[in-house]
Amino acid sequence: MAGELAIDVHGMTKRFDGQTAVDNVELQVWTGEICGFLGPNGSGKTTFIRMLCGLLRADAGSGTCLGHDVIQESEYIKRQIGYMTQRFSFYEDLSISENLDFVARMYSLNNRRRAVQESLERLGLIERRNQLAGELSGGWKQRLALAACMIHQPKLLLLDEPTAGVDPKARREFWEEIHQLAAEGLTFLIATHYMDEAERCHRLAFISNGILLRRGTVSEVIDEAHFTTWSVSGPDLLKLAEQLRDIRGVEQTAPFGNTLRVSGDDPAALESAIAPYRTGRYNWRLVDSSLEDVFIHLMKGPKDGPSS
């Protein structure tokens, strides 16, 4: 993407009690880009996000976030970003408007009333402005959280598992809003576990055990994994999965509707493994590996280091 880099960091490292949580991570995100940040629980996603927004100080690394030094100018960065955490963290006995006004006070906004009104309008919260936050469904709580982290008009939003526990309709509406904001120039780094959400991002970054394994578009990430997948239909697929699971060359077996997906990172070894089962009982078909196939593969840990 053309333009300026909103995030440009190198060698970002964080250790806790001798354990490395984030290990020499390099990441670039363009202005107006939606970057999906993927990884299993405990992979270092939240730690990295907290280093970017100045809530944690990196033990090593350098670079810029919104043009400011990520180590030395964290206070400047904090004023220009919005951070949406995994859990709803507002006062449930206050109304939507009262919560937004409280956040506006925290940012010392000059015209709080206007800022609150604009946030309510932007996220479709006007009709619910007097409703207590504790009475909101997951989707409406999500809208309130997004409104709150945007009330000071940040240039970058860091969203940590923002749609956990939200129904599919609310998730879709959330992503429509994200793409609209990105089109207006706002930048996003979004940690998510949902593969359908990851596919909505412009680019992805996969992290596991604190190490950045892959970066790129969805198609680039899938292609660089060099992962092969077969789809098989026929009788007793669960029994077939058990038989295949421990054979060399088979890395994954996963039920998928009325079929079984069988995958591996060595095409020749995989084909040799399934050869005895390619009989008249089963119908085998070579298919494109999905992002979920690749995600599960990458979760097993790095084999050959980061890729650009």
Give me the residue spans of the domains in the chain: 5-222, 226-299
Q: How many residues does the chain have?
A: 308
Nearest partner of 303 among 211, 204, 195, judged by Cα: 211
49 Cβ neighbours under 8 A, 6+ residues apart: 37, 83, 158, 160, 189, 191
- Model confidence pLDDT, tens digit, residues 130-153: 999 999 888 888 889 999 999 999
Strand order, beta sheet including 252-256: 252-256, 259-264, 228-233, 283-287
Question: Could you tell me which CATH class the domain 5-222 is placed in?
Answer: alpha beta
CATH assignment of 226-299, given 3.30.70.260, 2.60.40.10, 3.40.50.300, 1.10.357.10?
Answer: 3.30.70.260
Same fold, 5-222 and 226-299: no
Q: In the chain, pLDDT over 70 holds for what percent of residues? A: 97
pTM for this prediction? 0.88
- Model confidence pLDDT, tens digit, residues 200-253: 999 999 999 999 999 999 999 999 999 999 999 999 999 999 999 999 999 999
Amino acid, res. 308: S
Cβ-based burial of 130 (10 A; exposed 0-12, middle 13-18, buried ≥19): exposed
